[in-house]
Amino acid sequence: MNFLDYIVVIGYLAILLYMGFALRQQENKGDYFLGGRTLGWKPLTLSVMATQLSAISFISAPAFVGLRDGGGMIWLSYELGIPIAMILLLGTILPSLYKSGVVSIYDFLEQRFGRLTRVLISIVFQFSRAFATGIMIYAVSIILQGTMGIEAWQAVVLTGIITVLYSLQGGMKAVVYADAIQMIIIVLGTIACIAIGLHALGGVDVLVEQAPKERLTAIDFSSLGFSGDGFGFLPMLFGGIILYASYYGCDQTQAQRALSARNENDLRKMIVANGIIRFPITLLYCFSGLIVGTLALTNTEFFNKIPADNPDWLMPTFILNYLPHGLIGLLIVAILSAAMSSLSSAINSLSAVTVEDYCRITNKQLEHQSYLKVAKITGLIWGGVTLVLSLYAGNIAPTIIEAINKVGSVFYGPILALFLLAVASKALVGKHVNLGLIAGVSTNIVIWLSVPDIFWFWWNVIGFVVTCAVALVARYVWPSATLAENVKQLKFHSILTTKDVVILVGFFIIMLAVCLLMPSLFS
């Protein structure tokens, strides 16, 4: 990097700080955590995608496609479950959450199942989200070491302090608007890498000729994921439906954006848009990985600069060696901004859950200004905890993006089960679902530690089924005549339309066709 690159990076960080302080006027928790419910579906859509398609996707998805052993365009199968998951969410969980008016989605579970359920699910969320975000910051710190020539702890501090400052000052509005800008930068940066990579490789014809044929398969119907194999069609589809339904609807970092929508129509548009737009962006990531990976495999000098045991260095090495100055700075901004998107979302959501839990457990009703002060202090603490975790994050999977999804798959199935049971069953009470949650998470942990042949995408399905089964069995073994005191039944609410179903199912078919036709595009 040279002087021009540093000017680009510093200028962008300054804009973020200005945005946070410009949006710092909040009167209550609704303004701080939900943006006063004034946010439209377009910035919310970009914000959700910026968090989902983060720095890890920008860097690690291309590494999986281009260099990872056993990788390739099979990464696209990660996306297959998303349109169906969006149908599930619009028809069940998200409308009920939105209508309830809660800030913390776990408050919704307390209304239905009682305080103990809220505490249990909140602990699960806070542990999994802080750990997963720590892994993400760890990955970015490694990348910034190579691109900016700084130490790991310096990269963590640089990423963390700026993010904490703008997200604490500006609240959800700062997070959403910064995310929208970041998503645009990430997409433009990926397109730039594709264009420059193709030019360096020698054009489309050279790519078609030299791209490894084994990396072109996007769907594997032969793998069932029970014999040490993975990325088969069935585990990726069914595990993906549960993973993404849980992440978009039952993870505070994502659901908080849904709760920030101006109205139910904007909420519906945001979810449908995410079900459609994600795949084309992921396709861009995959093509960039195929192009840059092919370039690395055919260029010994480039390939030797990538650590043999860390394919995640593919894109940072390409950026430093092939991009012009100024554009290098822009791509570093894309990496930083995407990392900040995930971190800011985690800080804001962890703070929301913690403060709401504190108020419930202590039965304190804080004044608006006191609430905001506590929320900002809590966000600062969670920012520190996440950054400390990032310094000690270890290797869990061949690529960082797999590691984050692997950690999430332990918890996503059981969490989704609890929210679906909350809106679908009138007979279950807190003690039933609490047992189910503990059983579902425990089963997944046991499988992780002792049954490595089961592909981890199946954990989402297994955790979901075990949680539902144990809760339903517990209802008959441990019956309860009435609901506990202060616990109420919640009315089922759906905003899913026939048009939404047609659009999302139609897009699922298009995605499937693109994946099946992928090898023929290079023949």
Could you report the per-residue pLDDT of 301-330, keeping only the tens digit for each? 999 988 877 788 888 889 888 988 888 887
Distance in angstroms (rounded) separating the CA atoms of residues 420 and 356 = 22
Average pLDDT of the chain, as a whole number: 80
> Confidence band (pLDDT; 50, 70, 90) for 333?
confident
Distance in angstroms (rounded) separating the CA atoms of residues 340 and 347 = 10
Number of domains the chain contains: 1
Residue 518 in any domain: the answer is no
Residue 22 in any domain: the answer is no
Residue 206 in any domain: the answer is yes
Calculate mean pLDDT across residues 134-143: 70
Torsion on CA atoms 235, 245, 467, 223, rounded to nearest 10: 0
The CATH number of the domain holding residue 405 is 1.20.1730.10
pLDDT of 481 higher than 60: no
Could you report the per-residue pLDDT of 208-223, keeping only the tens digit for each? 899 988 899 999 998 8
Residue 519 in any domain: the answer is no
Amino acid at 232: G
What separation, in Å, do the N-terminal and C-terminal C-alpha atoms of the chain show? 39
User: 140 vs 278, 417, 442, CA distance in Å?
Assistant: 22, 32, 31
pLDDT at 12: 74
Residue 165 in any domain: the answer is yes
Residue 290 in any domain: the answer is yes
pTM score, whole prediction: 0.82
pLDDT of 164 higher than 70: no
CA 46 from centre of chain: 13
Distance in angstroms (rounded) separating the CA atoms of residues 406 and 385 = 21
491 backbone φψ class: left, alpha, beta (φ>0; ψ -120 to 50):
beta
Q: What percent of the chain has pLDDT over 90?
A: 30
Quickly tell me which residue has 């005191």 as its tokens: 485
Could you report the per-residue pLDDT of 418-457, keeping only the tens digit for each? 999 988 887 888 889 999 999 999 999 999 999 989 999 9
Q: Residue 443 in 3-state DSSP?
A: helix
Q: Where in the sequence is the domain holding 307, given as residue range(s)?
A: 3-16+27-510
Could you report the per-residue pLDDT of 14-28, keeping only the tens digit for each? 776 676 566 555 454
Q: In the structure encoding, which two tokens stand for residue 507, read together?
A: 């897009």
Listed range (47-51, 187-191, 468-472) with the worst mean pLDDT: 47-51
Q: For the beta carbon of residue 417, count every other beta carbon within 10 angstroms.
A: 26
Residue 198 in any domain: the answer is yes
pLDDT at 174: 59
Distance in angstroms (rounded) separating the CA atoms of residues 357 and 382 = 14
Could you report the per-residue pLDDT of 88-108, keeping only the tens digit for each? 999 988 888 888 777 778 788
Residue 388 in any domain: the answer is yes
Q: For the beta carbon of residue 146, count every other beta carbon within 10 angstroms.
A: 16
- Residue 149: Cβ-neighbour burial (10 angstroms; 0-12, 13-18, 19+): exposed
User: 181 vs 51, 137, 174, CA distance in Å?
Assistant: 12, 20, 11
pLDDT at 438: 93
> Confidence band (pLDDT; 50, 70, 90) for 85?
very high
